[in-house]
Amino acid sequence: MAQAKAKTKSKASGWRDLLTRTLAGGLKERSQILELLREAYKRGLLDADALAMVEGALTMAELQARDLMVARAQMVCVRREATLASILPMVIESGHSRFPVVDGDKDDVVGMLLAKDLLRAASASSAARARFDMREYLRPVVFVPEAKRLNVLLKEFRGNRNHLAIVVDEYGGVAGLITIEDVIEQIIGEIDDEFDVEDDQNIRPQGERQFVVRGGTPIEAFNEHFATGLADGEFDTIAGLVMQQFGRVPRRGESVNIGALEFQVLRTDRRRIESLRVVVAPGTAPPAASDAT
């Protein structure tokens, strides 16, 4: 116990000494702070998780809402005049918990619908379900400009207790949406949810024709699971193949078809695709039930 305390004290002392010497020399750029942190990591004064979190926090001031938003074309919206029967299947299929409600097109967002609010309506009597009125379930919606800094946006999210905001361009048109989870993940890394694939599997079924696939899944393993013949000469992983189809790193929510499969991006950062939803087209035999690769 005494040795452990002495080691911890030594680390703290070393970190303070390094920080004091660097500050004495004068820090003028954010890059200098990052260099200091990386030097502390190399010396064992800072662990990898702490380094990643501090780096994420520092870069937040450089990023804007447009950098993380789900693009307008990929937004899953509900029409104000929609019936309960038409909304529920979409809510279940998308897996989202919040939906912009539009009147006309996506530039006219009139409110926000929470999936949990629909539970009360869905469990009501048949007569009550028939009288479903969207206006009773609408919640206020928050609008933010594309240029909103992420650090400012996070503070606003925390202050007004909203978890989703609609991003608008300079002309007032809807450009996309962004959630508090998107912002927080810039600091602490990915937050596991229903779209994350477990560490010991690359492919996880979500139904007979729908799967969540890790971006790093080898193309050979993907072909074996889906009985496909996707070329694996130039790329090793399914993420590399999908990025080639886009010609760039796609945004979250974008999709592309390759043969009888639809690939929708679930998670991505500025460098790579982390996870995908793969949907097998109707009329095509789905993969035989088996353990995930």
pLDDT digits (tens, 9 = 90+) for 225-242: 998 888 766 788 999 999
Q: Find out whether 259 and 280 touch, Cβ atoms under 8 Å.
A: no
- What's the pLDDT at 197? 47
Cα separation, 97 vs 95, whole angstroms: 7
- What's the pLDDT at 16? 55
Q: Identify which has the larger pLDDT, 114 or 200.
A: 114
- What's the pLDDT at 275? 86
Q: pLDDT tens for residues 196-218?
A: 544 557 898 877 788 989 888 99
Q: Where in the chain is the domain with CATH 3.10.580.10?
A: 66-188
- What's the pLDDT at 293? 54
Q: In one letter, which amino acid is 105?
A: D
Cα separation, 178 vs 70, whole angstroms: 6
Q: Find out whether 261 and 228 touch, Cβ atoms under 8 Å.
A: yes
Cα separation, 182 vs 8, whole angstroms: 34
Average pLDDT, the chain: 79
Q: Which of 170, 181, 173 is nearest to 98 (CA)?
A: 181
Q: Which of 288, 275, 261 is nearest to 197 (CA)?
A: 275
Residue 71: Cβ-neighbour burial (10 angstroms; 0-12, 13-18, 19+): middle
Q: What is the pTM of this model?
A: 0.59
Indicate the pLDDT class of residue 128, thresholds 50, 70 and 90.
confident
Q: Find out whether 187 and 52 touch, Cβ atoms under 8 Å.
A: no
Write the CB contacts of 5 (distance below 8 Å, at least 6 apart in sequence): none
Q: Does domain 203-280 have CATH number 3.30.465.10?
A: yes
Q: Identify which has the larger pLDDT, 34 or 254.
A: 254
Q: Identify which has the larger pLDDT, 51 or 80.
A: 80
| Interval 129-146 mean pLDDT | 88
Q: Find out whether 166 and 100 touch, Cβ atoms under 8 Å.
A: yes
Per the CATH hierarchy, to which homologous superfamily does domain 66-188 belong? Answer: CBS-domain (3.10.580.10)
Q: Which residues pair with 263 in a beta bridge?
A: 256, 278
Name the residue with tokens 């789900």.
70
Using only C-alpha atoms, the chain has a radius of gyration, in whole angstroms, of 23
Q: Find out whether 101 and 203 touch, Cβ atoms under 8 Å.
A: no
| Residue 279, phi then psi, degrees to nearest 5 | -115, 125
Q: Where in the chain is the domain with CATH 3.30.465.10?
A: 203-280
Res 60 pLDDT > 90: no
Q: Find out whether 226 and 258 touch, Cβ atoms under 8 Å.
A: no
Q: Find out whether 163 and 142 touch, Cβ atoms under 8 Å.
A: no
